[in-house]
Amino acid sequence: MNGSVGPMRVLVTGGSGLVGRAIERVVKEESGGREGETWIFLSSKETNLVSTEETRAAFERHRPTHVIHLAAMVGGLYRNMRQNLDFWRNNVHINDNVLHTSQEFGVVKVVSCLSTCVFPDKTTYPIDETVMHNGAPHESNYGYAYAKRMIDVHNRALFQQYGLKYTAVIPTNMFGPHDNYNIEDGHVMPGLIHKTYLAKKEGKPLQVWGSGRALRQFIYSLDLARLFLWVLREYDEVEPIILSVGEEDELTVKDAVDAVAEAFGFEGEVIYDTSKSDGQIKKTANNAKLRKYLPDFKFTPFKQGDQHKRFSIYVFPILVKRRILIDVFLFFQPSRRLVIGLQPIMTPSVNEDLFI
């Protein structure tokens, strides 16, 4: 797919976030990179991609042949509900700057990251890649969702007008090292992890926002990183592709709460605050298209086991200093905990803009 461009120079926007760090780990530690390739992991501290001028300067500096576009203004359900306009405007600017500048600089391929929030709120299930534009997204995060949808519109127009095969992936809920553990602004798993840690430390009930009935499919960030590399090298369609575990692996938020509480050994009261929104109750995704290409890909299971024993993989944070968490990966059995790895991360302050 590289044509005559020679060894790839891959620019990863959002390179310091959850998925960016996972891709970096796969490239450097799992031989995901190939001889002669250059990988550049760009963070918002280096370049503000909302700015056209800074975006162009980054492309001038790095001269990529390929781009993995992860950068976005991101946040959890409640921040989206408060700031739909900000999520729309900032993400539209970021995405247009990256895609247009990639076109101007002759980038061979761009793989952008969408989200299952792009799908219609009122639809039939399971959802697949063909229904993205068939109705309005959920009202809670429509600014972010529409901005992400526009990446697909931009990609199709680039192909129609210039023959460029830029594409996008649609992952389900991600978890893994280097996530954002901000309780107010983070996503489901890291928010639950931080809340459970504090509840156990302080001897207080665990407060969960919403009813716990919402259904989600969770994908481990390193699995997603491996699939990103496959899409970059092998996937030759403009149409997006869902990257997800199967429908049979869907969990309720309550399932996730129970798993995190068990991993922490938290035995206190769990209170579900039903005055808070659940967001979109269900957005079950069909991964048949992915399985057509990669029928044997093995996902890291959130839970696996048999009637005799149960193993679960968790991201288990330990507060070391005021703003530092360490991710501890556990294969958890009821009888024991086996620590298999440590990853230090920084958590953003409550007031920090969550651009990755």
Going 111 to 116 to 119 to 125, the CA torsion angle's sign is positive
Going 251 to 254 to 260 to 263, the CA torsion angle's sign is negative
**pLDDT per position as a tens digit, 95-109:** 999 999 999 999 999
Top-confidence residue, 13 or 191: 13
Whether residue 204 is contained in a domain is answered as no
Q: In the prediction, which pLDDT does 322 show? A: 34
Whether residue 21 is contained in a domain is answered as yes
Residue 205 pLDDT exceeds 50: yes
pLDDT confidence tier of residue 211, bands split at 50, 70 and 90: very high
Average pLDDT for 153-181 = 93
Distance CA 111, CA 166 (A): 6
The pTM score is: 0.83
Q: Which residues pair with 273 in a beta bridge?
A: 209
pLDDT confidence tier of residue 303, bands split at 50, 70 and 90: low
pLDDT confidence tier of residue 239, bands split at 50, 70 and 90: very high
Residue-averaged pLDDT of the chain: 84
Residue 352 pLDDT exceeds 50: no
Let me know: does 233 contact 221? Beta carbons within 8 Å: no
Top-confidence residue, 342 or 138: 138
Closest CA to 175 of 226, 217, 215, 214: 217
Whether residue 134 is contained in a domain is answered as yes
Whether residue 289 is contained in a domain is answered as yes
Residue 329 pLDDT exceeds 80: no
Residue 17 pLDDT exceeds 60: yes
Whether residue 144 is contained in a domain is answered as yes
Instruction: Name the active-site residue from 142, 144, 146, 197.
Output: 144
Distance CA 314, CA 264 (A): 10
Residue 3 pLDDT exceeds 70: no
What contacts 202, CB < 8 A, 6 or more positions away?
A: none
Whether residue 126 is contained in a domain is answered as yes
Q: In the prediction, which pLDDT does 75 show? A: 80
Average pLDDT for 65-92 = 92
Q: Is 144 annotated as catalytic?
A: yes
Average pLDDT for 42-68 = 97
**pLDDT per position as a tens digit, 250-293:** 989 999 899 888 888 899 999 999 998 887 888 899 999 999 99
**pLDDT per position as a tens digit, 34-44:** 999 999 999 99
Task: State what percent of residues in the chain have pLDDT above 70.
Answer: 83
Q: In the prediction, which pLDDT does 299 show? A: 93
Min mean pLDDT across 74-83, 116-125, 338-347 is at: 338-347
Q: In the prediction, which pLDDT does 320 show? A: 32
The tally of domains found in the chain comes to 1
Residue 133 pLDDT exceeds 80: yes
Q: In the prediction, which pLDDT does 5 show? A: 61
Q: In the prediction, which pLDDT does 349 show? A: 35
What contacts 261, CB < 8 A, 6 or more positions away?
A: 196, 206, 267, 270
The H or E element containing residue 78 is helix 77-82
Residue 344 pLDDT exceeds 90: no
Q: At what angle do helices 18-29 and 221-234 cross, to 10 degrees?
A: 70
The domain that holds 27 is classified in CATH as 3.40.50.720
Q: In the prediction, which pLDDT does 264 show? A: 82
Domain range enclosing 87:
8-178+218-247+282-307
Residue 51 pLDDT exceeds 50: yes
Q: In the prediction, which pLDDT does 304 show? A: 40
